[in-house]
Amino acid sequence: MAKTLLKNKAISSVLVGAVITLLLTVFSFTNLFNSWHLKIADTLYANNQSSDEIVIIGIDEKSTYRSPEGLGQFSKWSRENYVDLLDVLGDDPKVIVFDLLFDTETQEIPIQMITDLKYGNTDQTYEEFIDANSTIIDNSIDKALAEKFYETENLVLAFHSNNGSPIFPLNKFSINAKLGDVIAEVDDDGVLRKTPPFYQDETGYYSDMGMAAVQEYLDAEDINVTPDSLTIKSATKEIQIPLEEGKMNMNFFENPGHTHISFIDVVNGDFDKELIQDKIVLVGVTELTSTQDTVTTPLSESKIIFGVEFRANEIQTILDEKFLTNQSTLGKIATIALISIALALIIMHLGAILSTVIAIVAIVGYYMLAHVLFRTGLIVNMVYPFMAIILTFLASWVYKYTIADKKKREMKSAFGHYVSDKLVEEISKNPDLVKLGGEKRQVSVFFSDIKDSTKMSEQIDTALWVAQMNEYFTMMEKVIKQVGGTIDKYEGDAIMGFFNAPIPQENHQALAHLCALEMKKALAILHKKWEPEGKPLLEFRIGINTGEAIVGNFGSADRFDYTVMGDTVNVASRLESSANKTYGTKIMASGFENSDQIVVREIDIVLLPGKAEPVTLHELVCTATELTEELKTAIQTYAAGLEAYRKKDFTTAIANFEKLAKDPPAQIMLARCQALAKGEQVAGLEDNMVFRIFNK
């Protein structure tokens, strides 16, 4: 029962799919190939167009040139630079975000302030200068910046949650500012793909920098946090952000793509103020020697991403609502199962080449589908479905080889030498058509033999004779298989074959007759080749008989052949040898039924030794399309002579047969009629064929 079920391809396909699904599901819970998934999934990120609502004011290489071209080394900047920046920006931006930590007091008095005091370039007296800058905690530079921050609307300042030990900006700087966390949590491979949108401690929730900027930009009135989502509500808009383990998956845009303006150009007023009008302006370091705030993202293989650029991508992800979610565990399992079962069902019914093509198409197709789904916001698994395709391909072929196609291989092995590749394939697809035991069946059996082969083989070199015979057999075998015949055996220079086995052929007799005529044409082609080569021109005789025979494997337990046995076979053999020799014909057939395809003529009716019933002999002349008027006249003349012969009107018979001087059967019958007309005795024609005059 189990063995029978396993041979059912549909059931086996489901079993193969189920086993592969179970195996890959176990692997998926181990996260063994998670790094592979992440790397392949990184290729799905498209270069989405960057938003012009976000502008980055970069502390770049140009800004850190020495004065007067730049503002000098970043680590020695005076906070007066930020005051100058905010003076220029004014109220034009909708939101101003500083991706900089203002968590310490100014430690040093800038040399420029001391120089201005020395040369009288300031309104301050020495005593006033000392009074304003005598303590770190209460110096004029930080006072000026704190006042500027306080005056600035929609200001976001950075803080760092620092794994539970947060670093906040000084209170005097953040009185009127919203705080944004700048923590970055990378995956195991060091790539930043997600960010926690908020930080929570005993005092409440703090948004991360991108989230804080969006809240200010939208004038958000309320934020609602659940384990799976975060909702931002404003008077005009509501955005629901999907979360996974409390983190938001980042989408990424052109790298770099957001508008960049040099810090020094803003301070100098050397920029188009339309660029910042009602925009989100982020201020951060974009120069490598001045910061270590760089991250690796799925799009940063060729260009490094600065922290401020990462925040720009986060802000746009939220504003454009281009959120990404990873495929659920259930969805992943369902995908694996669907691919495994569907692919197994397909491969079970295909050959090796088509199966390989389908597997490759499945791999490419899934990757393309992953791109399409990614654009809708879904990140499907990029490892296990590919593994499912490969494993299903291999498992299906192992199953086919060991179970499903075992019988087919046996059939191909059994019949590969007998019939054409086309018939072998048909047998392998429908093994029930063939019974490897013996069975009775109507068949058309043919024998072919080379005339005077023994004499010719003695007259030429053995090697040359063998080579010529191999060429002859190769050509004849090709013809027989093309027509649909089964080659039984080679015996010396003879070929035995049959039709209507191992698979049924409704027109098996017509096929056998057509095969003989095609072999005759093939021999003519060989003659044209052999004649200039000086080789003997072989002639064959063919006998064909249609009747009932036993078909199957015959032989010992260790050695057997697929063949036909019975009286039908014996008659075919005698037709090839005795009948053809007696009447000088090349292709003799019996058991004949009228056919529109083949032109025949009745030669005679004879009684074979051991047969109680006479056998009607027909000679195959040509195909219906090849019948000429000359042949048609000759056939009619012979038929008239044969009819007169059977009526013992030997004078009329002789008159007709004399008209066919070049026709061997007519000349045989002529001699017989002449002898009978004289009253002479006609001896038996051959040892195994007895002459009688049979009337129809």
CATH number at residue 480: 3.30.70.1230
97 and 183 in a common domain = yes
User: Residue 434's pLDDT is what?
Assistant: 52
Using CA atoms, how far residue 232 sits from 201, 213, 222, 235, 242, in Å, is 20, 12, 6, 10, 12
Whether 49 is in a domain gets the answer no
Residue 603 lies in a domain: yes
617 burial (CB, 10 Å; 0-12 / 13-18 / 19+) is buried
Specify whether the backbone of 88 is left (phi greater than 0), alpha (psi in -120 to 50) or beta. alpha
Rg (CA), the chain: 49
Mean pLDDT calculated for residue range 355-370: 94
pLDDT confidence bin for 388, thresholds 50/70/90? very high
Q: Are 213 and 82 part of one and the same domain?
A: yes
The per-residue pLDDT for range 304-340, each reduced to its tens digit, is 788 999 999 999 999 999 999 999 999 999 999 999 9
Asked which of 372, 404, 436 is the last residue of a domain, the reply is 404
Do residues 546 and 444 make contact, with C-beta atoms less than 8 angstroms apart? yes
Query: Residue 99 falls within a domain, yes or no?
Result: yes
Decide if 296 is inside a domain: yes
Same domain, 400 and 545: no
Confidence of residue 240 (pLDDT cuts 50, 70, 90): very high
Would you say residue 673 lies in a domain? yes
Instruction: Using the predicted structure, report yes or no on whether residue 543 has a pLDDT greater than 90.
Output: yes
Whether the predicted pLDDT of 456 surpasses 90: no
- Statement to judge: residues 386 and 424 lie in one domain: no
pLDDT of 14 > 70? The answer is yes
Residues 592 and 466 in one domain: yes
Percent of the chain past pLDDT 70, that is, above it, reads 84
In a domain, residue 439? The reply is: yes
Residues 213 and 263 in one domain: yes
Examine the pLDDT at 432 and tell me if it is beyond 90: no
**Of the residues 346, 369, 404, which one is the last residue of a structural domain?**
404
For residues 122 and 218, the model is more confident at 218
The answer to whether residues 349 and 386 belong to one domain is yes
Alpha helix stretches (DSSP H) within 43-192 = 80-89, 111-118, 126-133, 140-151, 171-174
Determine the Cα–Cα distance for residues 138 and 143; give it in Å rounded to an integer: 7
Last residue of some domain: 352, 385, 404?
A: 404
Domain-embedded: residue 578 = yes
The residues that bridge with 444 in the sheet, in sequence order, are 499, 546
287 and 422 co-located in one domain: no
pLDDT at residue 530, rounded to an integer = 94
pLDDT recorded at residue 613 = 81
Q: What is the pLDDT of residues 31-58, one digit of tens each?
A: 888 889 999 999 898 778 899 999 999 9
- Structure tokens, 371: 């791109």
The number of distinct structural domains making up the chain is 4
Angle at 636 between CA 633 and CA 637, to 5 degrees: 85
Neighbours of 40 (CB within 10 A): 16
Q: pLDDT, tens digit, for every residue of 483-506?
A: 989 888 888 889 999 999 888 889
- By residue count, the chain amounts to 696
- Computed over every residue of the chain, the mean pLDDT equals 85
Shared domain check, 266 and 345:
no
Count CB atoms within 10 A of the CB of residue 34.
15
Predicted confidence band of residue 685 (pLDDT cuts 50, 70, 90): very low
Whether residue 689 has pLDDT greater than 70: no
Q: The tokens 């036993």 sit on which residue?
A: 550
Does 640 lie in the same domain as 609? no
Same domain membership, residue 353 and residue 369: yes
Contact predicate 654/673, CB 8 Å = yes
- Give yes or no: residues 97 and 210 share one domain: yes
Range of the domain at 64: 54-319
